[in-house]
A and B are shown apart, each in its own frame.
Chain A
Amino acid sequence: MANGVLAITEQRDGKFRKVAYEVVSEGRRIADGLSGPLTVVVMGAALGALAEEIKAFGADTILVLDDPALADYRTDAYTNALAACLPAADPAVVLLGATAQGKDLAARLAARLNAGLAMDCTAVRVQSGSVICTRPMFGGKLFADVTIQGTPQIIAVRPNVMPIQRAAREAAVDTPAVETGEVKTAVVEKLMDAGGKVELTEAEVIVSGGRGTGGNFQPLEELAAALGGAVGASRSAVDEGWRKHGDQVGQTGRVVSPALYIACGISGAIQHLAGMSTSKVIVALNKDPEAPIFAKADYGIVGDIFQLLPAITAAVQKIKS
């Protein structure tokens, strides 16, 4: 019976994304729980020695799928290539990161294999040989413990949640022939944001603003810059046109899990709380002492964010210097 784990990494422009290390680390833990081997998949084009960089995280075997057709992520090319090499690996568990790419790939692969998929999990544990996944539902208003019947069990884990752990071991690197099959989709253009910005779902710190900002996000940008974090927004701030849709945190926006979430002038609608409730520490700044956000926060200050934020930024800079 299959007892191995196949962890699918994600890279962009020849660099692993943070979630790749999280997925491999979690893959090692699950493989140990099942007493099985961990196979790590690295996919892309002209990958060079990229596979070497993941060796320190506990793979037994690294499968490198290197093909020009895999240069950009395309659902069909990636699904075909993975489906072709899965039978040889015969994993009990297929693990991915629940990123834009990972969610898309996991969903298509699950349908191709007629396999169960637990999406966007925040915890995975092995108990008497069975794998139990915890996943938020209703935007985090509830958590479900789920098990998956059949093989393989596909698990996509929420980025920024699983701890990264080094576990060096000798890994065999295998470069099987890549079968991308019929590919109908084409990437015709990439419109990327200016570099240097921290991606919301990977950020350790998020400074987020709501209606209370009145549209002035400058003090939030400055605090985020001082903390090396990213700026998020509530739905009302996005609906007002103050921030773009990609910045929206909430049940109908991005779901984030930073170490520190600073909510500025956000009242705390259920819709918003759903998108940030798995943050490790939540700080609320609001002039209304009755704002519901305080009930969900670890630390709170009642006050004017336009006075508080510059003072916090200054205090952070003092510590950092």
Chain B
Amino acid sequence: MNIVVLVKQVPDTESLVQIAADGKSIKKDDIKWVMNPYDELAVEEALRIKEAKGGSVTVVSVGPQKAQETLRTALAMGADKGVHVNDPAAEGGDPLATAKILAAAVKGLPYDLIICGQRAVDEDNYQVGAAVAEFLGIPHISIVAKAEVLDGRIRCHRSIEGGTVVVEAPLPALFTTQRGLNEPRYASLPGIMKAKKKPIEVKTIADLGLDPATVGAAGRKVVIQALRLPPERKAVRMIPGDTPAAAAEELVRILHTEAKLI
């Protein structure tokens, strides 16, 4: 079973995100960068499948030099090798542009199964997995909280509003992760030491045979015109009350007569 996992380096979810001077991007300094939490689930699931069925786990990422940290983290968790598409022409793409690069990188690898996060918690696009599968001409199943590899196919528990649907697809296939799929392991110290010696193949857009005009910032179809902070709420109105019952009554009165929500 050859498994490919797509990973992305993103700002930690507890970090404060600030708008850069251009008004269209974020300040990249002073941010703690981590592996996208949904991608951690993907790496873990790939390792568990490999442990059960044998095979290899290859992690693929598009990003600047720094993104190699995320590949090393995945290697330290137990992945076998990494592919890093590191090229200025690959930077600043929208999900479709990035998926083109990832699909081209995966095409050069043996794969039966591709796993990635349902979304990256930076731009929250929920698109890359489906697009990579489309470009590779394979089925995908998104938002998967449980996966079983059967003979030549995958059975996935896909979370939808109000329940779960169990979907099967023949391999090769791609699925995207949902929380609850597993608890990702931490890299052990020996794992971290071993990861330093594991191979990371570095590729450029030219190596992948792609036209630079179709990827990265040049290939963007969704163009960010402006970033802004969410609208400020008015200052909180604290509701006093000598007793919990009095405060509760006052809150419900306000919600009923002023906010007209009850």
Contact = CB atoms under 8 A, between A and B. Distances in A.
- A pairs with B: yes
Interface of A: 17, 72-76, 98-101, 103-104, 106-108, 110-112, 114-120, 132, 135-150, 184-193, 197, 199-202, 205, 227, 238, 244-246, 248, 251-253, 259-260, 269-271, 274, 277-278, 281-284, 294-304, 307-308, 311-312, 314-316, 319-320
Contacts of B52: none
A143 B224 contact: no
Given A107-B129, A116-B220, A260-B261, 8 more contacts: A104-B143, A143-B228, A143-B230, A246-B180, A251-B13, A301-B238, A302-B238, A303-B244
A188 B167 contact: yes
B133 A137 contact: no
B165 to A, nearest CB: 5
Interface residues of B, number: 83
B225 A147 contact: yes
B249 interface: yes
A74 B168 CA distance: 10
B238 A186 contact: no
22 contacts: A100-B161, A107-B95, A111-B99, A138-B11, A138-B123, A139-B13, A144-B226, A145-B228, A189-B165, A193-B162, A227-B262, A238-B179, A244-B180, A260-B262, A270-B15, A271-B14, A296-B236, A299-B238, A299-B239, A301-B251, A311-B248, A315-B252
B66 interface: no
A186 B223 CA distance: 36
B163 A146 contact: no
A100 B223 contact: no
Contacts of B222: 116-118, 146-149
B142 A104 contact: yes
A197 to B, nearest CB: 7
Interface string B235-262: 0111101001101110111111001011
B111 interface: no
A74 to B, nearest CB: 7
Nearest to B164: A191
Contacts of B255: 260, 281, 283, 299
Contact of B134 (A72, A111, A146): A111
B109 interface: no
B210 interface: no
A230 to B, nearest CB: 10
A101 B142 CA distance: 9
Contact of B142 (A103, A251, A252): A103
B125 interface: yes
B126 A107 contact: yes
B241 A301 contact: yes
Contacts of A120: 124, 126
Nearest to B133: A108
Contact of B130 (A111, A227, A298): A111
Among A111, A150, A294, A300, the most chain B Cβ lie within 10 Å of the Cβ of A111
A188 B124 contact: no
A119 B13 contact: no
A143 B121 contact: no
B145 interface: yes
B193 interface: no
A140 B225 contact: no
B192 to A, nearest CB: 24
Given A118-B222, A144-B224, A189-B166, A100 B230 contact: no
Contact of B140 (A108, A244, A295, A296): A108
B197 interface: no
A177 B162 CA distance: 32
A140 B230 contact: yes
Nearest to B226: A145
Nearest to A200: B161
Among B130, B220, B227, the most chain A Cβ lie within 10 Å of the Cβ of B130
A112 B17 contact: no
Interface in B69-90: none
A33 to B, nearest CB: 17
A270 B13 contact: yes
B37 A141 contact: no
Interface string B127-142: 1011101110001111
A114 B96 contact: yes
A242 B256 CA distance: 31
Contacts of B160: 99-101
B171 to A, nearest CB: 10
A271 B13 contact: yes
